[in-house]
Structure formats: structure tokens, C-alpha cells
């Protein structure tokens, strides 16, 4: 299987995981898609599947997640997304996942508070969804 197919498959796995966890709030997706020895680099979340299930359980009724750009190369997938209700103000994040044998094996993220387009020096929004523009 070529790298293009691996990247596309891994993108689909990550999108399914993020949708399951943050949109559907379905703890069943954790056992299905996350590796038993899932390694977490977010300093506030422990390693392992149970930690992700705990995150799902902590999401309030006003929580919302939106997927923006998705890029993949081999076993690494990066997702630019918006988290509303994670913190007092919406957060923009890049989540990076390593996918091994069809399972999420590792995760890193970088998050910052969203600044509205009118308050940026460029006037450009921090978050866009290119898939929605098609």
C-alpha cells in the first residue's frame, strides 16, 4: 500500500475518532479506535483510553467541536479545529495524531484562544473549514 493510501486511511481514522469523541460524545469509539497503550502529550490528560473516556464524560452540554483543515503524511495526521466550551472562550487547536495499525497511538496538541477576525492585524479569521467552502 502506498503512502498516499496510508495517509488517506489515517485521515479517515482520525476524523472518525474526533467526531466520535467530541461531536457524538461516544465512549465506544475509544475502544474501537484508540490503541490500548495510547500515549498522550497534552499536559492535562493522562495516557490511556480511560483518560479519553473521562474527557468525554466531562464535556458539558454547550461543548462544540468543529473540524477545519486536515493534513496527513504517513502515520501522522494534523487537524486544525475549534473547541467551544472547552475553556471560557473558544479555542483554536492543531491536534497531531500518530496512527499505527489503524489505531490512534499518540497525540500532541497546541491550543490558543480564538481572536475574532475583526481584532486581528490581518482581518483574517483564525479558523476556517475548507471542506465547507467546496
Tally of domains in the chain? 1
Average pLDDT on 23-44 reads 97
Listed in sequence order, the residues at least 6 apart from 105 whose beta carbon sits closer than 8 Å to its beta carbon are: 35, 37, 38, 39, 75, 97, 98, 99
Asked if pLDDT for residue 72 goes beyond 50, the answer is: yes
Above pLDDT 90, what percent of the chain? 84
Instruction: Supply the CATH number for residue 92's domain.
Output: 3.10.450.50
| Domain containing residue 75 | 5-132
Q: What is the value of pTM for the model shown? A: 0.90
pLDDT of residue 128: 82
The pLDDT of residue 22: 97
pLDDT at 1 over 60: no
Amino acid at each position: 500500500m502506498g503512502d498516499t493510501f496510508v495517509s488517506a486511511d489515517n485521515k479517515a481514522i482520525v476524523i472518525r475518532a474526533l467526531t466520535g469523541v467530541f461531536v457524538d460524545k461516544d465512549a465506544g469509539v475509544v475502544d474501537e479506535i484508540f490503541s490500548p497503550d495510547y500515549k498522550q502529550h497534552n499536559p492535562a490528560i493522562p495516557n490511556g483510553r480511560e483518560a479519553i473516556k473521562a474527557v468525554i464524560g466531562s464535556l458539558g452540554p454547550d461543548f462544540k467541536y468543529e473540524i477545519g483543515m486536515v493534513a496527513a503524511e504517513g502515520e501522522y495526521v494534523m487537524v486544525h479545529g475549534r473547541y467551544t466550551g472547552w475553556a471560557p472562550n473558544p479555542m483554536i487547536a492543531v491536534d497531531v495524531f500518530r496512527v499505527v495499525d489503524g489505531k490512534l497511538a499518540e497525540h500532541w496538541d497546541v491550543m490558543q484562544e480564538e481572536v475574532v477576525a475583526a481584532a486581528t492585524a490581518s482581518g483574517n479569521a483564525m479558523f476556517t473549514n475548507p471542506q465547507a467552502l467546496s
